[in-house]
Structure 1
Amino acid sequence: MTNPAYAKNAYISTDINNLSPLDLVIKLYDGAIGFLSKAVFSIEKKNRPMKIQYLNKTRAIVEELMSSLDMEVGGEVAVNLHDLYTYMLLELTRINSTDSVDKIYHIQELLRTLKSAWVEVKAIVPQSPATLRQHASIH
């Protein structure tokens, strides 16, 4: 009999491995936005351990987005994204100590704006592997 958790993880892994670089970036934004929603719910329920867990998951995603930036190829866009991600990481630290739901909403809005920009890039960029690698090199 197959372990359901194993099957789910295998499915998710296969799904992620089949994503283009742009799709992966978009999925990361979706994940961070979703974890922040769960952090808000945890704050409202006064569940500190869950809040910390979701803020840490969000932090991990933002750190992954930051570490995947190619500063040489991405130029000014990559520098600006790096600065924005640094700001988000600082705010996430502040949220952890203040439980500021407004700060969470602000970070979510920044993430939604960035996600929207990448969705637009995906819509106008030809989907050849070489082109995807070039555009994703910013990430």
Structure 2
Amino acid sequence: MENSSYQQKSVAGMNQVELVVALYDGMVRFLFRGVRAIEEGNVRERRIAMKRTLDILMHLQSRLRMEVGGPAQSLSEFYAVIFALCLEGSRLASAERLLEAIRCIRNVREAWQQVAQDPEVRRQFAQPPPPRPAVPVLVPVESGVEAAESSAWTA
């Protein structure tokens, strides 16, 4: 429990780019578990490690904004390659395939890490989101007809 609470607190202080780096670190950690499971002949642990890696990949893929174009498309293709390497590595019990996926992930992770250290990126993600507009609230009046009243409360 303490470890989970510590992890939640450390993640809470990260910006979006740092969270991506952390997810890449998670994939590498789970892939190494998969390699170890293959070497030990532990099918159950291999499957667990691959499921967690694939869960992270699917999460990253689902967060891509494809309408942005270039970088999103490239990352989508990268995630597809890593997904294929993981599936093949698990199916064939191939530590080599998983190690290849780890090398690829580490290369892209380094690029994300450099972006995370960029002062402009840090400043951009440090700014709080713009305030949301007030939501009109219907308030009953004495005549039984409802009237719209502005409220400072936002959903």
User: Could you state the TM-score of these two structures normalised by the residue count of structure 1?
Assistant: 0.83
Once residues 129 and 37 of structure 1 are traced to their aligned partners in structure 2, the CA distance between those partners, rounded to angstroms, is 34
Structure-1 residue corresponding to 2:37: 42
- Which of 81, 92, 103 is 1:98 aligned to? 92
- Residue 8 of structure 1, CA deviation: 2.4
Task: Note if 1:15 corresponds to 2:10.
Answer: yes
- Residue 11 of structure 1, CA deviation: 2.1
Structure-1 residue corresponding to 2:22: 27
- Which of 89, 97, 112 is 2:83 aligned to? 89
Aligned residues between the structures:
127
Q: Give the number of the structure whose residues are more often strand, by fraction.
A: 2
- Residue 91 of structure 1, CA deviation: 2.1
User: Could you state the TM-score of these two structures normalised by the residue count of structure 2?
Assistant: 0.75
- Which of 62, 71, 90 is 2:66 aligned to? 71
Once residues 84 and 28 of structure 2 are traced to their aligned partners in structure 1, the CA distance between those partners, rounded to angstroms, is 16
Unaligned runs of 5+ in 2: 129-155
Once residues 21 and 92 of structure 1 are traced to their aligned partners in structure 2, the CA distance between those partners, rounded to angstroms, is 25
Unaligned runs of 5+ in 1: 134-139
Supply the RMSD in Å over aligned alpha carbons. 1.8
- Percent of aligned positions that are identical: 24
The DSSP-based 3-state class of the residue aligned with 2:41 is coil
Task: Note if 1:56 corresponds to 2:67.
Answer: no
Deviating beyond 3 angstroms after TM superposition, the runs of 4 or more aligned structure 1 residues are 129-133
Code of the residue aligned with 1:30 in structure 2: it is D
Once residues 96 and 104 of structure 1 are traced to their aligned partners in structure 2, the CA distance between those partners, rounded to angstroms, is 8
